[in-house]
Structure 1
Amino acid sequence: MSKRSFPEVYIVGAGQAVYEKKSERSVQRLLYEASDAALASAGLPWSDVDGLGVACFRLPPDNVTTVAEHFGLAPRFLFHGVYGGASGIVGMLHAARAIQNGDAEVVVVATADSFNVTAHNETVDNFNVSVRDFMSPQGFAGPNGMFALHTRLYMQRTGAREEDFGQFCISLRENALRNPNALFKKPLTMEDYLSAKRIADPLRLFDCVMPCVGGDAVVLASARVAERLSVPKVAILAGGERHNYPADDIYAPYSGWEAYAGQLYERAGVSPGDMDFAQVYDDYPVMSFIQLEGLGICQQGDAFRFVREQDITWRGDFPVNTGGGQLSAGQAGASGGMIGVVEGVLQLRGEGGERQVANARRGVVSGYGMVAYGRGLSTSAAILERVED
């Protein structure tokens, strides 16, 4: 029987800003659009919001406090995510604790970015001191070069083939074709994947996310507020985060989820086999494989076989990234860590449209980010469950 780490907290809304390749919209506007859509789905007005969480690479010199000013809010609780793609889930967990402690009743957690190629490259080159001072001057190939090394290492240690990464990308593209907010609108075949240009060996074009413009948000509310809302509700059974793991191996073929996944499931009162889907951070297929293993969906070093043998599309044996993930919907900077949360909430609310997973009751979502010298430093995860009336 499932248990809830936050019994007095519900996710009551989820929304997105429109994903586009290019846009003149500011990041403040994107954060507002995603938040407004999430509040509309909850049936709540802006006047009820007394907590705000934000993550956005292109926001400085603004921060969450000035965003609250832009929105006309006077919050009791604020969170500013500085963990890259792990920030969305970390912020959601902090918000849940604040509500449970009585420090807020309605919290919007919003992520967004407005990336084009130039903005993306500027951000990557100045991501942190390690990258700025020691890697960019040497002409490193950005995250593509770094995760090409991770991909090669994973292939050498497990026996995974390029076709396995291709199958992952193809499955996510099939999911994206049923998502009106995904950027990629054409089917992807194995021939398309294998014939695409090399970006950083062994990575090909479709292994790499496309920077874009967009935003994602969820609304969390206290039980007192949620009980008066006539909308589907989602519970957070458990959540966790881990940073700089393992501290002594910067190119380890794992990144922290396995350090707390067991506790995550124990606290939730469920097992990996009880999950109906997974929404994992997918900037590159190899990191999705590592998350599927670290979260216990499959055995260590076995994700490539899992993808070979399972149908991971929305209609399949075990759906993964049912909205297409970042690889087929686009990566709106820091919003890459929230796109899967929004998709998970939509699935559990029965609002997945043409990609709706049948009888979706429970799923795991995960985030990853803050790339430094050899890998991303931050991981996060949560187990979500539909609340039965």
Structure 2
Amino acid sequence: MGLMGVAAIAGMFELPPRRRPVGGSEFTIEQYARLAGAVVADAGLDGRVVDGLVTGHLGESSTFVPSTIAEYLGIPANFAEIVDLGGANAVGMVWRAAAAVELGICQAVLCVIPGSWDVPTSPRKPVPGLEERSWFGASSNLYGSPQAEFDVPFGNLGQNAPYAQIARRYGEVYGYDDRAMAKIAVDQRTNACAMPDAVFHGQPITVEDVLASPLIADPLHRLEIVMPCQGGAAVLVTNADLARRSRNRPVWIKGFGERVPYKTPTYADDLLVSPIKHAAAQAFAMAGLAPDDVDMVSLYDCYTITVLMSLEDAGFCEKGKGMQFVRDHDLTFRGDFPMNTAGGQLSFGQAGSAGGMHHVCDATRQLTGRAGEAQVADCDIAFVSGNGGIMSEQGALVLQGD
């Protein structure tokens, strides 16, 4: 059961992230169109081959989102899907597109996530109705929402505090080495310094820098937390025929996994066992591969604790041994365990939900040999993770170069 691995990523495009808007404003649907055109051009294919699309939220339409985009782009879509998994959107989009291709429904599917790139902010709201529902960092503040009734009144909301809670719990059970955690951010910044488009390109940091940065939510420091920015990213998933006609090395989607057990970590069976454990096991089993077969990983990294948990739960090291693993390995593009080789969201930048697509692009860039100075030698197999909410919606991909 699962994918046969005959659908491939034929093109990718990622806007350089920016800390502030530049240029003229664009509506979300215009961003989608611009990214779609760029990713088709990257693949070197005729745009008329596109017959499927996947999207997330759209600022200009709170309902009928896929059909609105299909109409705007002039695509007679055989497959039109909206994915609502937060930071796991990108992974969810890619495997759904691959499934549609393998079923013969589509030959080429756009997977596009606009970031916050130059969006008009007044008098228009980014997503109609979503802003009111998201007060205090909650997913819903509306009457009848379980989160509004059982979490918001008690202050259980936002992101920094819940991730810090997971980190504190981890420390109580397994011990906590703040220097090992800081090394994750340092190694990823080294990678970003080899990527001219990264927000923090040319700004190396040390473990001491991380530990000296303000403590935002104990034990998480500012340099262990993502920098929101402007951006956007996209990939084009095609059938084998189009993939081989593309100008790029095909990146075959060999396996995927997804797990969504809860929205709020209050309801997790165990804070220290994240859903990526199931998702990664499914992805590797489907691909017929194991963690030891992987040449590079691109792990969702909204916080350093997210990376640590993913390393353990995805099977790259034993539970409770993640900090030792980080200490023992060079996580840079030139090291023995290349991870987040474009800098990850911590140092490349997190352009909203497009931050998750950054990890797909990071892996695709490596597998197609287009990472420039940061290229990993003999890179053929990559593992990608996605994470939405507070480690509540998680997905995994195993990708393989042709």
| Fold equivalence (TM over 0.5) | yes
**Structure 1, unaligned stretches of length 5 or more?**
none
Given the alignment of the two structures, is residue 170 of structure 1 paired with residue 186 of structure 2, yes or no?
A: yes
Q: Distance between the aligned counterparts of 1:4 and 1:137, measured in 2? A: 42
User: What does 1:19-168 correspond to in 2, within 5 Å?
Assistant: 19-23=17-21, 24-56=25-57, 60-61=61-62, 63-114=65-116, 123=134, 125-128=137-140, 129-139=145-155, 142-168=158-184
After superposition, what is the alpha-carbon deviation per residue over 1:338-383, rounded to whole angstroms, capped at 9, x for unaligned? Answer: 11001100100000011111111101001010x2xxx332110011
For 2:220, the aligned partner's letter is L
Q: Distance between the aligned counterparts of 1:368 and 1:341, measured in 2? A: 13
Q: Residues 125 and 257 of structure 1: is their aligned pair in 2 closer, same or farther, counting only changes over 3 Å?
A: closer
Work out the percentage of aligned pairs sharing the same amino acid. Answer: 33
For 2:378, the aligned partner's letter is N
Q: Residues 57 and 379 of structure 1: is their aligned pair in 2 closer, same or farther, counting only changes over 3 Å?
A: farther
Contact 1:17 1:33 in 2 (8 A): no
Given the alignment of the two structures, is residue 191 of structure 1 paired with residue 208 of structure 2, yes or no?
A: yes
Given the alignment of the two structures, is residue 210 of structure 1 paired with residue 227 of structure 2, yes or no?
A: yes
Bigger strand share: 1
For 1:33, the aligned partner's letter is R
- For normalisation by structure 2, the TM-score amounts to 0.88
Q: Residues 279 and 211 of structure 1: is their aligned pair in 2 closer, same or farther, counting only changes over 3 Å?
A: same
The one of 215, 222, 229 aligned to 2:246: 229
After superposition, what is the alpha-carbon deviation per residue over 1:304-325, rounded to whole angstroms, capped at 9, x for unaligned? Answer: 1111110000100001111111
Q: Distance between the aligned counterparts of 1:381 and 1:250, measured in 2? A: 21
Q: Distance between the aligned counterparts of 1:172 and 1:378, measured in 2? A: 24
**Structure 2, unaligned stretches of length 5 or more?**
none
1:79 deviation in Å? Answer: 1.5
Q: Residues 209 and 306 of structure 1: is their aligned pair in 2 closer, same or farther, counting only changes over 3 Å?
A: same
Contact 1:172 1:325 in 2 (8 A): yes
Contact 1:12 1:233 in 2 (8 A): yes
Contact 2:333 2:339 in 1 (8 A): yes
Given the alignment of the two structures, is residue 294 of structure 1 paired with residue 296 of structure 2, yes or no?
A: no
After superposition, what is the alpha-carbon deviation per residue over 1:125-168, rounded to whole angstroms, capped at 9, x for unaligned? Answer: 34234555554455556201111111111122221211111100
Q: Distance between the aligned counterparts of 2:261 and 2:61, measured in 1? A: 24
Contact 1:55 1:335 in 2 (8 A): no
Contact 2:5 2:255 in 1 (8 A): no
Greater Cα offset, 327-336 or 118-127: 118-127
Q: Distance between the aligned counterparts of 1:108 and 1:270, measured in 2? A: 27
The aligned residue for residue 397 of structure 2 is: 382
Secondary structure, aligned partner of 1:339: helix
- For normalisation by structure 1, the TM-score amounts to 0.90
The aligned residue for residue 16 of structure 1 is: 14
Given the alignment of the two structures, is residue 274 of structure 1 paired with residue 293 of structure 2, yes or no?
A: yes
1:121 deviation in Å? Answer: 8.5
Give aligned pairs, total: 381
Q: Residues 260 and 21 of structure 1: is their aligned pair in 2 closer, same or farther, counting only changes over 3 Å?
A: closer
Secondary structure, aligned partner of 2:33: helix
1:260 deviation in Å? Answer: 4.2
Deviating beyond 6 angstroms after TM superposition, the runs of 4 or more aligned structure 1 residues are: 115-122
The aligned residue for residue 256 of structure 2 is: 239
Secondary structure, aligned partner of 2:16: strand
1:94 deviation in Å? Answer: 0.9
Contact 1:51 1:107 in 2 (8 A): yes
For 2:170, the aligned partner's letter is Y
1:248 deviation in Å? Answer: 5.5
For 2:33, the aligned partner's letter is Y
For 1:386, the aligned partner's letter is G
For 2:75, the aligned partner's letter is L
Q: Distance between the aligned counterparts of 1:356 and 1:209, measured in 2? A: 23
For 1:89, the aligned partner's letter is V
